[in-house]
Amino acid sequence: MTDTDPSQIKGFNRARERAARALLEDYVEMIADLTAEFGEARITEIAARLGVAHPTATKAVARLKREGLAVSRPYRGVFLTETGEALADQVRERHRTVVALLRAVGVPEEVAEIDAEGIEHHVSSRTLEAFEAFLASKAGK
Amino acid sequence: MTDTDPSQIKGFNRARERAARALLEDYVEMIADLTAEFGEARITEIAARLGVAHPTATKAVARLKREGLAVSRPYRGVFLTETGEALADQVRERHRTVVALLRAVGVPEEVAEIDAEGIEHHVSSRTLEAFEAFLASKAGK
DNA sequence: CGAATCTTGTAGCCAAGGCTACATTTCGCA
DNA sequence: TGCGAAATGTAGCCTTGGCTACAAGATTCG
Ligand SMILES: [Mn+2]
Ligand SMILES: [Mn+2]
Ligand SMILES: [Mn+2]
Ligand SMILES: [Mn+2]
């Protein structure tokens, strides 16, 4: 049997790690959006916008709190910690870049938004840099 | 409260659906690769290449069988059904296109391979078409 | 001010996808 | 040929992320 290619394993492992973080990232981004819009993020609103039942959102927020990304008290809104805010900023920026890249290579706007919601979580910092450079060079075409 | 944007919900729902299919797609592709190389795909080899413990691979293969994508008998190799083969072809082609697109916008080869392993599962057919068109136009530059 | 309504919490179910430990079958080779 | 090693199966545990049903707190309004 041929030797197993370690870089391929790396790809699968990375993909699994990133998939596990994807949900956290979307919640953090959503909480940031709602806080900007309403001054706080309510569980019901988070759940509605993510398209899940409210206990699902409650559980996810519990995980965010456990990981130090958010805080909340019973029957009150959810807020991001500084760590959470930093993550939200990063995630939002990456989201924008991914959508822009997709648009730049000819993906229709609506499709780009939908696909980016999944793709974004698998874009590494190296790839993000490449996207930014590509967009910059195209801007100054 | 402002009305919840339904297209955003659509994005999150699609991302979740695609994430759920990602594993199946990687297993099917791997089984196709191993079958091409050795004439059959053994559980141990599948597990080794995906970087998981063998019972994890066994469970995943059970799911493939349940969904009509593969067949196998105890202590023997795993084989794809026609449906499984068709999926494998499609997945492999998409993988290649995603890597090529990443390379084309300046992502280093090794990084492209790793990131593509996750990104590929979130690329819709519309986006794939756009990627192909972009690559074709660039080829005939 | 109190009752209805809205929001949030909690309990408990399920499937998927990881794992380790151990049992069983197959296979290769002395 | 038979025995030890390798491969595979099975049991059982954990976490995540869905869900419904129901309990309880908070708000709104007549
Ligand atoms: Mn997302
Ligand atoms: Mn996003
Ligand atoms: Mn993949
Ligand atoms: Mn792939």
List the domain boundaries for chain A.
6-81, 85-139
pLDDT surpasses 50 at B122: yes
Can you tell me the mean pLDDT for A77-84? 97
Residue A22 CA to ligand 2 center (angstroms) comes to: 9
What are the backbone dihedrals phi and psi of residue B78, each rounded to the nearest 5 degrees, phi first? -105, 140
Alpha-carbon B75 to chain mean position: 26
> In which band, very low, low, confident or very high, does the pLDDT at A2 lie, cut at 50, 70 and 90?
low
At the topology level, CATH places domain B6-81 in: Arc Repressor Mutant, subunit A (1.10.10)
**Which pLDDT score, from 0 to 100, does residue A141 have?**
66
The pLDDT, as a whole number, for residue B1 is 46
User: DSSP states of chain A as a string?
Assistant: -PPP-HHHHHHHHHHHHHHHHHHHHHHHHHHHHHHHHHSSB-HHHHHHHHTS-HHHHHHHHHHHHHTTSEEE-TTS-EEE-HHHHHHHHHHHHHHHHHHHHHHHTT--HHHHHHHHHHHGGG--HHHHHHHHHHHHHHHT-
Mean pLDDT, to the nearest integer, of A93-103? 98
Is the pLDDT confidence value at A64 over 90?
A: yes
d(CA B106, CA B92): 22
Beta carbons of A34 and A43 less than 8 angstroms apart: no
- Model confidence pLDDT, tens digit, residues A27-48: 999 999 999 999 999 999 999 9
Claim: this prediction has a pTM higher than 0.85: yes
User: Using the beta-carbon criterion (under 8 Å), do A15 and B122 form an inter-chain contact?
Assistant: no
d(CA A123, CA B116): 9
Mean pLDDT estimate for chain A:
95
The dotted CATH code for A85-139 is 1.10.60.10
**At a CB cut-off of 8 Å and minimum separation 6, what does B34 contact?**
B40, B41, B42, B45, B46, B49
Percentage of chain A modeled with pLDDT above 90: 90
- Give me A38's structure tokens: 């309403």
A1 touches chain B (CB under 8 A): yes
The nearest CA of chain A is from the CA of B119 a distance in Å of 5
DSSP secondary structure of B56-89: HHHHHHHHHHHTTSEEE-TTS-EEE-HHHHHHHH
pLDDT at A28: 98
Quote the pLDDT of residue B83. 97
CB-contacts to strand C (7 A): A 16, 42-45, 54-55, 58, 72, 74-75, 77; B 20, 22-24, 51-53, 55-56, 59-60, 63, 74-75
Name which of B5, B13, B123 is nearest A115 (Cβ-Cβ).
Answer: B123
Q: How far is the CA of B3 from the centre of ligand 3 (A)?
A: 36
A81 C-beta neighbours (distance < 10 Å), count? 15
B105 touches A at CB < 8 Å: yes
Closest CA to A118 of B92, B96, B123, B125: B123
From CA A130, how far away is CA B101, in angstroms rounded? Answer: 12
Q: Which two tokens stand for residue A68?
A: 């130090």
Name beta bridge partners: B79.
B71
pLDDT digits (tens, 9 = 90+) for A101-121: 999 999 999 999 999 999 999
Lookup: nucleotide whose C1' is closest to B20 CA: C16
Residue A3 — pLDDT band, cuts 50, 70, 90? low
Interval between CA B113 and ligand 3 midpoint (Å) = 10
**pLDDT tens digits, one per residue of B33-79:** 999 999 999 999 999 999 999 999 999 999 999 999 999 999 999 99
Main-chain dihedrals φ then ψ at residue A6, nearest 5 degrees? -70, -25
The predicted-structure confidence for B73-99, as pLDDT tens digits, reads as follows 999 999 999 999 999 999 999 999 999
Question: How does pLDDT run across B17-27, given as a tens digit for each residue?
Answer: 999 999 999 99
